[in-house]
Amino acid sequence: EGEAKTIESGKLIVATNAEFPPYEYHEGDKIVGIDMEIADAIASKLGVQIEIEDIAFDSVILEVTSGKADLGLAGITATEERKQSVDFSDSYTSSKQLIIVKDDSSIASGADLEGKTIGVQTGTTGDLMVGDIKDAKPERYAKGMDAVQALSQGKIDAVVIDSEVAKKFVEETSGLKVLDEAYAEENYAIAVQKGNKELLDAVNKALSELKADGTIDSIIAKYIKA
């Protein structure tokens, strides 16, 4: 049972789910992406090392709640529900859920999702949203890309996932497209154990400096072509 380390210990454990390009993904034996560069930039501001813990997305918040990880950095949308169990930093970027379908699909908008089988990554905001679509059947996958593969094989009708991730997956898979219609904006933030004000304040201070000096924008621009 690991106790979360304080900043003074010189090391922060960062929980993520590296199945989410361009935010966190595997490249060879490394985990790279926007969130990983932000983690590095924060760590160097705080003068600490980081250790990345790559786990299932629906365990990331729990890992922070239990104190096994210091930070949850995984394209996490700061929802009201999650705020019951963790504290969130200021937002560092935003996103929207998008719908992926086959090129020849009859689904042209969110309204057409009624009664359809829709793939999502387990425990994500996309998963929650599909629960609100009338008669829709959510099909849950451990990895977003597994949902996309299932779509491409015709096993499901659509996938709902975060915008930039949707675009990356569609780039990598032939025969799929992203619909224009997007759902409400979501804000990504870093999760910290509830009440760890010292760490939360330190992360927010680092983030505000990294925003002010253009570091966050340039990290994002490296991975997302405008």
Residues forming the site for ligand ARG (CB under 6 A): 16-17, 19-20, 24, 57, 74-77, 121, 124-125, 162, 186
CA distance 186 to 160: 14
126 vs 151 by CB, closer to ligand ARG: 126
Cis peptide before 22 (omega within 30 of 0): yes
CA distance 44 to 38: 10
121 vs 196 by CB, closer to ligand ARG: 121
Sheet strand arrangement including 11-16: 49-54, 11-16, 71-72, 191-193, 86-88
Work out how close the CB of 104 gets to ligand ARG at its nearest, in angstroms, rounded to a whole number: 27
Work out how close the CB of 216 gets to ligand ARG at its nearest, in angstroms, rounded to a whole number: 17
The 8-class DSSP code of residue 19 comes to E
50 vs 74 by CB, closer to ligand ARG: 74
6 vs 149 by CB, closer to ligand ARG: 149
17 vs 215 by CB, closer to ligand ARG: 17
Work out how close the CB of 79 gets to ligand ARG at its nearest, in angstroms, rounded to a whole number: 7
**Burial of 166 from C-beta contacts in 10 A (0-12 / 13-18 / 19+):** buried
Beta bridge partners of 117: 137
Work out how close the CB of 82 gets to ligand ARG at its nearest, in angstroms, rounded to a whole number: 8
Work out how close the CB of 125 gets to ligand ARG at its nearest, in angstroms, rounded to a whole number: 4
Give the dihedral sign, CA 50/76/58/198: positive
**Burial of 97 from C-beta contacts in 10 A (0-12 / 13-18 / 19+):** buried
Work out how close the CB of 196 gets to ligand ARG at its nearest, in angstroms, rounded to a whole number: 20
- Please state the φ and ψ torsions of residue 102, each to the nearest 5 degrees: -70, 155
9 vs 68 by CB, closer to ligand ARG: 68
- Please state the φ and ψ torsions of residue 42, each to the nearest 5 degrees: -65, -45
